[in-house]
Amino acid sequence: MQPAPRLEPPPEAAAPNPSAFPVATSRGRLLLDRSAAVLVRAGGFAVVFSLVGILAFLLVEVAPLFRGANVSEPRALSASAGPPELLLADASLARLASVAADGRVTVLDAESGAVQATLPFPVAGEILDVGDAPGEPTFSALLGDGRVIVVPVDWRVDYGEANARTVSAVLGTPVELPLEPADATVVAFSARARASGSAAAAVLSDSTLVVVRRTVRVNDFTGERDEQLARFQIPSPEGVTRLVLDSDQRQLYGADARGGLYWWEIAEDGVRTPRISQTGAPISALSLLVGGRSVVVGNANGDLSIWFRVQSGRAHAELVRAHEISSQGSEIRAIAPSWRKRTFAALSADGSLGLYHSTSERTLWRGKAAGEAAVAAVLAPRGDALFVASANGVRAFDVRNPHPETSIAGLAAPIWYEDYPEPTWVWQSTGGSEEFEPKLSLTPLAVGTLKGTFYALFFAIPLGILGALYTSQLMDPRLQRWVKPIVEIMASLPSVVLGFLAGLWLAPRLERYFPGLLLLLVASPLLALAAGAAFRALPARLRGRLPPGTEVALAAALLAAGAGVSIVLSGAVEGMVFGGDFGAWLQATTGLAYDQRNAVVAGIAMAFAVIPIIFAIAEESLSNVPKTLTAASLALGATRWQTLARVVLPAASPGLFAAVMIGFGRAVGETMIVLMATGNTPLLGWSPFDGFRSLSANIAVEIPEAPHGATLYRVLFLSALLLFMVTFVLNTAADLVRESLRRRYSGN
Amino acid sequence: MISLTAGALAANLLLVGGLVALVAVNGLGHFWQADIAALVQSDGTTLLGEIADRELDSDESGQPRERWRVAVGNRDLGGSDFRWIDASQVTGESWPSDAGVLEREEWGRFYGFPVAIRNGESVRVEGTEPVWAALPELLRENRASRAAKVDALAAEIRGLNGQIERLRREGRDTNELQVRYEEAASALSAREAELLADVLVMRTADGREKAIPLSQVVRAVRANALGARGKFALYGSRLWEFLAGEPRESNTEGGIFPAIFGTVLMVMLTSLAVAPFGVLTALYLREYARQGIVVRAVRIAVNSLAGVPSIVFGVFGLGFFVYLVGGSLDSLFFADRLPTPTFGTGGILWASLTLALLTVPVVVVATEEGLAAVPRVVREGSLALGATKFETLLRVVLPAALPGVLTGLILAMARAAGEVAPLMIVGMVKLAPSLPLDGEFPFLHLERKFMHLGFHIYDVGFQSPNIEAVRPLVFATALLLILVVLSTNLTAILVRNHLRRKYAGSAI
Amino acid sequence: MTQPAQSPELARLPEFEKAVLRVKELSLWYGATQALKEISLDIPERKITALIGPSGCGKSTLLRCINRMHDLIDGVRVEGQLLFHDRSIFDPEVDVFALRRRIGMVFQKSNPFPKSIYENVAYGCRIHGIGARSELDEIVERSLVSAGLWGEVKDRLRESALGLSGGQQQRLCIARAIAVEPEVILLDEPCSALDPIATQVIEELMRGLADRYTIVIVTHNMQQAARVSDYTAFMYLGRVIEFGETGELFVKPRVRATEDYIRGKFG
């Protein structure tokens, strides 16, 4: 900074009192002034930054939800001898097992591709075919003598001397399941084994279906093992070429080359006749998603569809085409499901690869496997790598695919989930089992939010605006000074207290006296009118001498009495109108159930929070209407009410609209009241007697349990973002309205 | 129509008044000791307890009937603290002067008649009257010996625990301390067992006897023999316990001191954070900014921040403060404690900062009002004397606008004290093991979780299994919260009105 | 009436006066509106110069230019020169805070700070770095004496200045202004809000101060200008129409507009 030059006075013009001060301002003062200016400006901008920062942060947290999968360039792992038939990956992505047609297992380092070990097939015999078990670390082999051998692959983790983690593959005890095909040959088979039992199913060349099941019961006390072998054989439809057994060994799915999709139920005592669905094109690949309920069907045209059983009405359950994936263009050769989510990879005859999610029907990624024809593909158990085998070896793709299940449509539109008869909107973030699929539709929550807001505004708009009208236009200014702080106090009541009162005090009382509330709703305007009439009936001279506020006090007294009487009469009304029991009457006439904590209760409590906001803003905009306008109207002989209705209300109506908008914003974001005064059921519905769950309460309920960065976490951020945007738009719009109103009348 | 507007206003005022009165009556009633009634019912059973409610109702056939809700306590025997009875079934009603109520560390209240005081097998006092006479002294004795023997040892164990934890983090040998810890722990359990040997035998109304260790008895009250003065003294004592005591029975009984403390500390930290931020913004808007697009943007930002739902701030606080900032702090400075997070989890600092963000608009608006009330000529007077803008602000404008700033801060504090939703995400807990402020270096533990009055209401009122029994306590807590919020708000309103009056005449 | 133009000879200062401030062809715009139009004027040292003219003629604007208070208003543009001791005060190098210290100002509406009487007077000194108690005490006393307020307030220096009467407040503002030892004091209609008696006190005070300070006063009140000032400038529509010795200007104005104004034909 330049030091400011002195203003030299001419020598002969020295001031009469020679100045005791330095004439130039000190650098320190100037520096302080400048830095204070910078600091203050920074403070001002910091608010904008905060707002933009919050928005940006929410966006950054939400954005990954809608990104596709990130799949790396492939790495070549090995040029193994002989093409692998199927692959098995270790969850930690350290090792990969490739099973050759002769049952030999080659264990590769999943990083470098180096061969770690070669394990011979543990059972002697000629191997005709090998098969996988989607979602489980086993593979099975069909031997020439008709036995099916299921081999578990265990991944052993050792921490050696140097605490270095090494993983090795060990083949577990093989399970034998004799198919006893007699003279026929096996056309297709599928087998699974777990501790409680194992099963194999096969279609034979003589059009029969054979299911062999070995159940193991271990006596917990004696440790005795009791093994039983059962064999069922039923005629099979002609031409079944593929079979896949679910992990419970209860459902068996098959496919034929003409496009038929078969579903057999395996009961304790036998196999039920299959239900058949036509898929339309020859099926070339068949697999099961995690949980075993969804069948992924790939056909010769490259189309992929997901089928699961749906029970509609009393009829038998049937397989339906629930989801379709856009075609991959060339015959599907292999389908590799994830073990965790409803994600799967599909491999086509022309080497094209795709990564999809069934429920969201999203195509997450598409690419090329390799030049030559690929034969097998597997997704790592955690879905973080994809391995594709071809005649020349195995290629590995690193997959980053954290949120395959969300799509914008999926958050708003109905989605068809397993076990549901039709597409629907569901919010259910956690379930009992690992196979549970989180259902994250925001629609029920948005509807709940709107429902709560509607009932809040239903009570708040009339009370807030009419009260403001009286206060600003008709009330003695001395009393205004009292009323406004009272409304401010109302605004400051903590919502947790309102919620507590609504949930624990009001809700049980409203349940008993609901007819009384209805009575009060009808009666209170009448009572207010009666109070006004009574007040005006007083002789004018007497009225003038009464203290200001008598009119309000009279109305308050009548309303309080009315409320008391309504409660007392509630039982009588219930008896006369609702046949003695409102809940039963409601159920009988409308089919609606009465929940104790319902939307009306929450609406009343939220109205408490919204009234002061509407009141304050409405009062302000009504007060901004120049007094000259009302005076002019009154001077023309208009009555008080005519002046209000024809002059004041039209002039202030944008402000009243703004008041409602801001009140709406407040109600939309209210959390604690909804949390405490409703049952928090995230069900879609408009009934005032049901509970609901709002977006905001949902965040409060769910986010403590949501792991950082998980899909649920990000979806909750998305709902926060929605709330942010809605209230931002509402508030900004309301602000602009108020500002223009203020400008219009500030001139007068 | 005009009557309707008056009616609407009347309804609003009624609602506010009714709500405050409802909370006040229920909350204040919590500490009052009613007389204990012995009610003989027509089936021959006798209930001993306080009649909490009398209610008119109709039975299945529509006939009106009166029902009483009786607080009978004895949760460990009967399962439920309250019983609804049909008034017409009560054949005898008496107020036995030797009946009493015990407030216990566990299982809530016990209503009954004292029978004896025993130590192990030996009887120390026997008979109702002698027991009532000896009980206060014996309780005091028991408490004194607990303080002498157990509390010191418990403190030592806590200290040892902390040392072991520290050594383990530093990777040092903890064996020696472990041995001392085991010794102290076994000594502690032996002494506790010793204290448990003194038991008070009580008889219930239906003649069952129950032995209650003296160390479990918080207070023994012979309700019907208390005079009015005794009852008021008891009221005061219970009120004090509520305000200054530690919670018992997972917050459903005892005091709420940690929640009060946590709320106050959090509000203080919030106002520390929000004051400079809000005041700078207001100064910018009023004193430095030229009217234009930037000022409009800042105003829109301020107003929007005011309208953004508080839960959104909570979500932002969780993602930004807790996970991003806290997580980075942890990996930079507290890497030795990972994976246990230090700042990477909710805590009082993050809660305060989140609330500071939430309350900025309140401070900005009030400060702006304060600044606007300072006449322009006063600023010019200072500038004309050669003062810089900053000097003018600091020495003339800000002192004059101070009431406005204060109003804003107080309103912000009231808002912060009443806000719960965002705190549920960023640092509040049901039961904090230790206060965020204590004698251990560095005294103020910003990373600690804390208890909060508002969350206490939610948690106790909605998460505890025995809602009927805790409701009065929740009412009392709600009353306290309302009082805190209302009194801060009223202060702000008064300061603001003062400000408005002061400058009403001199404004240009 | 036609737009009168300023002729140089109508604004000339007599040879014997020394001009401490020289306004040279000063024009000023508020946004697009021109408030001052090529004003030229010399302000004599240690004399009282009155600026008179109808409302909106730019006299207050000109006054505020002299210590650069117009800087505080957004969108102001200035052309021309205003020399203080032959140095342009619009020079960007000029230390505006030091300038204002040497050119004090008293406003139309009294504006004591919401502080004590003592602190009001001491304020400027504190700002400019004088903190010693004894020195401050002396300055406060001297300034209050000069402002003729000492006798009235010496027993209640610690009381709030807001408790003083309007005339006292205005004299306090004058005391505050002279406490920092300015050379020039600008008075912007200092008596417009005061009653006749308080006005008289201030007028006497001004006469007393004229020995030591150059005073420029804007006034609406022609009698006041005639009573207190040595020189008077008549301004109209942003121009100085006529400038001269007060006696001469009021007795035989050279311009028709001046005469019309002082005879009360408009204003």
Interchain CB contact of B312 with A (< 8 Å)? yes
Nearest chain C alpha carbon to A4: C95
Condensed to tens digits (0 to 9), the pLDDT of residues A604-663 reads: 999 999 999 999 999 988 888 888 888 888 888 888 788 888 888 888 888 899 999 999
Determine whether the interchain pair C101/A17 forms a contact, defined as Cβ–Cβ distance below 8 Å: no
pLDDT along chain B (508 residues), means of 10: 83 89 89 87 86 75 78 81 84 86 85 86 84 86 81 80 78 79 84 82 85 86 86 90 83 84 90 91 86 81 87 92 88 76 82 92 89 86 88 88 87 89 82 69 75 88 80 90 89 80 49
The answer, yes or no, to whether residue A18 has pLDDT greater than 60, is no
| Neighbour-count burial of B462, counting CB atoms closer than 10 A to its CB (0-12 exposed, 13-18 middle, 19+ buried) | middle
The first and second tokens of residue A363, run together, are 């195509």
Q: Which residues contact A567 (CB under 8 A, 6 or more apart)?
A: A513, A516
pLDDT at A727: 92
Give the residue ranges of DSSP H helices in A625-694.
Answer: 627-635, 640-643, 649-669, 672-677
**pLDDT tens digits, residue range A531-581?**
888 888 888 788 777 777 788 888 888 888 888 888 888 888 888 888 777
Query: Do C129 and A6 make contact, defined as CB atoms within 8 angstroms?
Result: no
Nearest to B381 among C98, C99, C173 (CB): C173
A448, A408, A407, A444: which is closest to A426 by C-alpha? A444
The minimal CB distance from C100 to the residues B375, B383, B399 is found for B383
pLDDT over 50 at A748, yes or no? no
* Number of B–C residue contacts, CB under 8 Å: 72
Encoded tokens for B404:
């406005």
Residue of C nearest to A33 (CA): C97
Chain B 240-299, residues with CB within 8 Å of chain A CB atoms: 276-277, 279-281, 283-285, 287-289, 294, 297-299
Q: Which long-range contacts (CB under 8 A, 24 or more apart) does A186-189 make?
A: A186/A128, A186/A129, A186/A142, A186/A146, A187/A240, A187/A241, A188/A240, A188/A241, A188/A242, A188/A243, A188/A254, A189/A129, A189/A131, A189/A140, A189/A142, A189/A148, A189/A243
pLDDT tens digits, one per residue of C206-253:
888 888 899 999 988 888 889 899 999 998 888 888 888 898 888 888
pLDDT, residue A747, reads 53
Chain B neighbors of A58, CB-CB under 8 A = 312, 315-316, 319
Number of Cβ within a 10 Å radius of residue A272:
13
**A32:B357 CB<8 A:** no
| Contact between B48 and B71 (Cβ < 8 Å) | no
B-chain CB neighbours of C97 within 8 Å are: 386-388
User: Is C65 in a helix, a strand, or coil?
Assistant: helix
Closest chain B C-alpha to C125 CA, distance in angstroms: 9
**CB–CB contact C97 A10 (8 Å):** no
pLDDT band, residue A5 (cuts 50/70/90) = very low
**DSSP of C109-121:** S----SSBHHHHH
CB contact under 8 A, A489 and B489: yes
Integer Rg of chain B from CA: 29
Name the region of B83 (left: φ>0; alpha: ψ -120 to 50; beta: rest).
Answer: beta
**B273: DSSP letter:** H
Q: Are A392 and A79 in contact (CB under 8 A)?
A: yes
Secondary structure of residue B82 in the 3-state scheme: strand
> What value does the mean pLDDT of chain C take?
85
Between positions 396 and 415 of B, the ones with CB within 8 A of A are: 414-415
> Chain C neighbours among A 295-354 (CB < 8 Å)?
none
pLDDT at B473: 87
- The per-residue pLDDT for C97 is 86
pTM value is 0.86
- Count the alpha carbons within 13 Å of C158 in the hemisphere toward its beta carbon: 0
Q: What is the pLDDT of residue B41?
A: 86
Write down which chains contact chain A via at least 3 CB pairs under 8 A: B, C
Cβ contact A407:A424 at 8 Å: no
Chain B contact for C104 (CB, 8 A cutoff): yes
Nearest-CA distance from C223 to chain B in Å? 26
Q: B384 CB near a chain C CB, below 8 Å? A: yes
Q: Do B319 and A29 touch (CB under 8 A)?
A: no
Q: Hey, are the CB atoms on A21 and C18 less than 8 Å from each other? A: no
Confidence check: pLDDT of A10 > 50? no
* Chain A residue nearest residue B410, CA to CA: A492
Q: Which residues contact A212 (CB under 8 A, 6 or more apart)?
A: A148, A177, A178, A179, A180, A199, A200, A201, A229, A230, A231, A232
pLDDT for A454 equals 94
User: In this complex, is the C-beta atom of B383 within 8 Å of any C-beta atom belonging to chain A?
Assistant: no
Instruction: Give the closest-approach CA distance of B275 to chain C in angstroms.
Output: 23
Contacts of C20 in chain A (CB under 8 A): 13
Do the beta carbons of residue A36 and residue A65 sit within 8 Å?
no
Nearest to A7 among C45, C99, C128 (CB): C99
- Give the mean pLDDT of A174-194: 87
Considering only residues 190 to 229 of chain B, which have any Cβ-Cβ distance to chain A shorter than 8 Å? none
What are A210-232's pLDDT values in tens digits?
Answer: 999 988 887 777 778 788 888 89
Show Cβ contacts of residue A696 under 8 Å, excluding neighbours closer than 6 positions.
A449, A668, A669, A670, A671, A674, A719, A723, B309, B311, B312, B421
CA–CA distances in Å: residue B302 to residues A728, B214, B231, B308, B414:
11, 59, 52, 10, 19
* Pairing verdict, β A147-159 and A138-143: antiparallel
Question: Cα–chain-centroid distance for residue A460?
Answer: 30
A272: left (phi over 0), alpha (psi -120 to 50) or beta: beta
Q: Do the beta carbons of residue A505 and residue A558 sit within 8 Å?
A: no
Reduce the secondary structure of A628-639 to three states and give it as a string. HHHHHHHHCCCC
pLDDT band at A437 (very low <50, low <70, confident <90, very high): confident
**Terminal Cα distance for chain A, rounded:** 47
Task: Give the closest residue to C183 by CA, choosing from C218, C217, C210.
Answer: C210
Longest dimension (CA), chain C: 59
Q: Do A7 and C211 touch (CB under 8 A)?
A: no
pLDDT of B118 reads: 85
Q: Which of A400, A363, A360 is nearest to A382 (CA)?
A: A400
Q: Which of C74, C99, C111 sits opposite B381 (nearest CB)?
A: C111
Residue contact C105–B395, C-beta within 8 A = no
pLDDT tens figures, A85-114: 888 888 888 888 888 888 888 888 888 888
* Furthest CA-CA distance within chain A: 135
| Interchain proximity C94–A19, CB inside 8 Å | no
Side-chain-side CA neighbours of residue A500 (13 Å) = 35
Q: Chain C contacts of B395, Cβ < 8 Å? A: 113, 123, 126-127
Q: Do B481 and A533 touch (CB under 8 A)?
A: no
Neighbours of chain C (3+ CB pairs under 8 A): A, B
Contacts of residue B248, Cβ cutoff 8 Å, sequence gap at least 6? B105, B106, B218, B254
Which one, of A503, A340, A320, A524, lies nearest residue A421 by Cα?
A320
Residue C121, both tokens: 């007077």
> Could you tell me which chains touch chain B, where touching means 3 or more CB pairs under 8 A?
A, C
Q: Are A570 and A519 in contact (CB under 8 A)?
A: yes
This model of the complex carries an ipTM of 0.87
Note the pLDDT tens digit of each residue in A124-153.
888 888 888 888 888 999 988 888 999 998
The answer, for A1 touching chain C at a CB cutoff of 8 Å, is: no
Is A676 in Cβ contact with B489 (below 8 Å)? no
CA angle C12, C17, C23 (to 5 degrees): 50
B143: Cβ–Cβ under 8 A, 6 or more apart, which residues?
B215
pLDDT tens digit string along A293-351? 889 999 888 899 999 988 877 677 888 888 999 888 888 888 988 888 888 999 888 88
Is residue A4's pLDDT more than 50? no
Q: Is the per-residue pLDDT at A35 higher than 70? A: yes
- Verify whether the Cβ–Cβ distance A8 to C85 is below 8 Å: yes
Whole-number average pLDDT of chain A: 84
* C20, closest residue in chain A (CA to CA): A13
- Contact list, B381 vs chain C (CB under 8 Å): 107, 111-113, 173, 176
pLDDT at residue A720 greater than cutoff 90? yes
Measured CB to CB, residues of chain C less than 8 Å from chain A are 18, 20, 45, 84-87, 93-95, 97-99, 101-102, 125, 128-130, 135, 180-181, 183, 211-212
Which residues are CB-neighbours of B161 under 8 A, at least 6 positions away? B181
Q: Is A11 on the interface with C (CB under 8 A)?
A: no
Cross-chain residue pair B384–C115, CB shorter than 8 Å: no
Q: Average pLDDT for residues A179-197, to the nearest whole number? A: 86
Q: How many CB pairs under 8 A join A and B?
A: 328
The reported pLDDT for the residue numbered B133 is 86
